Every structure is written in C-alpha cells, then in structure tokens.
Amino acid sequence: MPPEDPAPTEELLQIQIAIELDRGRKIAEIASEFQVPERQVRNIARSAGLLESKKSSSGRKRLSEEEKEILLGRIEAGEDPGELASGVGIKTSTLLRWCRVKEIEVPRRLEQLSQKERQEIREMLEEYSWKEVAHAYRLSPEALEALKEPAYRKLDSSVLAFLYELFKENPKISDSKVLESAGQLGIEVTKEEVGSYRKRLRDMKRI
C-alpha cells in the first residue's frame, strides 16, 4: 500500500497508473511498463474504484424488452428513475436514454421544482384542473399531491399566530422582512409558506 502522504514523484506515479487503468489496460501490462509490483497497481485500482466498477458492470443482467417497458411505465407513473435503475442494476443514464428513445417525459419530483415554480403551480391549481397543471409542469403524482395543499398548512399554530400579527400590523410588509423577523426569533419558515399564508389571509379579508 502507498504511504498516506506520498512524495510528489510517487503521487504522480499513482496518477499515471490510475489513468492507464481507466483506459482499460491490464494490470500486468501497467505493472511491467512502470516497473512496479502488480499488487501495487491492483491497490491503486481498488482505491480509485476501478475494480468494483468493472465487477458491477459485468454483473449487470440484460433486460428484456418486456422488462424495459415495465420500467418505462413505472417512470411515466412518477417513480424515481434513479431508484428504479439501482434496483435492477443498470445506470440511471441508461434508463433515461431509453426514455428519450421512447419519447417519454420523466415526471418531475417536488425537490426538482424551484420555489417560484411551486408558487406558480399552487396558483394554477386554484384556476385549472389538477390534470392540466400536472401535464403542463410534468409533475409526478407525489409532487402534485404535495402541492395541492397550501404551503402554510405545514406550519404549526405558534408560527401562524406570529405571521398573523405581523401581517395585521403591517399588511404590506415584504416577505424578506417577515423572514428576517422570524429568523431573529429562531422561527423557521420559508418564503413560500409566508406568501401562501398572506394570500390566505387576503382571501379571507383578514388583512
């Protein structure tokens, strides 16, 4: 095994060996060329994750067309491509490539949506059917369900009371000022939640 803090020349040697390994050359060839023991080359390969990657790739099974169709159908239904790919032992990029070939749009999960998009979607859901909104924004079922509910409903009563007092005192207070005031008191609240509750109070004509 190489020392933990190798000299520059030895570090350079390890880098050169790793490059050759990544090119797919055999361990014996590299050991002979650089005049080092095969065990040292193998250790470098293991440290770089090259031995494991080759082993895992060779162990992947070839999926039938029927199995591919089932996977693509599950993606269309909103399941995560990364989790599906991991479950069957293929690369996520491979699964996404199949989606492109079949012209399947991968539904977007909640964490893939920006705060601005989440706000837009919630506003759209008040005017249009959930099917139209889901199609327009390519939403997964989980993302749609999460966005159907107003953001402020995740807040507990103490936070809602704090926001209500702020809005009642100054209905035109900016979101940034609200977040600043909340932060000073150690209250965790997002801009999306602030905007959602402000809208709710306006709809109820409380502010």
The CA–CA distances, whole Å, from 207 to 10, 44, 59 equal 70, 66, 63
Beta strands in 105-168 (DSSP E): none
**Which residues, in sequence order, are CB contacts of 55 under 8 Å at separation 6+?**
none
Distance, in Å, from the CA atom of 5 to the CA atom of 22, rounded to the nearest integer, reads 23
Residue-range domain boundaries for the chain: 8-58, 65-101, 110-149, 153-203
Torsion-angle region of residue 26: left (phi > 0), alpha (psi -120 to 50) or beta? Answer: beta
Count of alpha carbons within 13 Å of 35, Cβ hemisphere only? Answer: 1
Q: Classify residue 173 as exposed, middle or buried by CB count within 10 Å of its CB (0-12, 13-18, 19+).
A: middle
SS3 category, 173: coil
Report pTM: 0.46
pLDDT per residue of the chain (207 residues) written in tens, 0 to 9 = 444 544 447 878 888 888 888 777 888 888 888 888 888 888 888 777 666 444 444 455 678 889 999 999 888 877 878 888 888 888 888 888 898 888 888 888 888 898 889 889 988 988 888 889 988 898 988 888 888 888 898 899 999 999 999 999 999 999 999 999 999 999 999 988 998 899 889 988 888
Distance, in Å, from the CA atom of 199 to the CA atom of 68, rounded to the nearest integer, reads 45
The token pair that represents 17 in the structure block = 């060996």
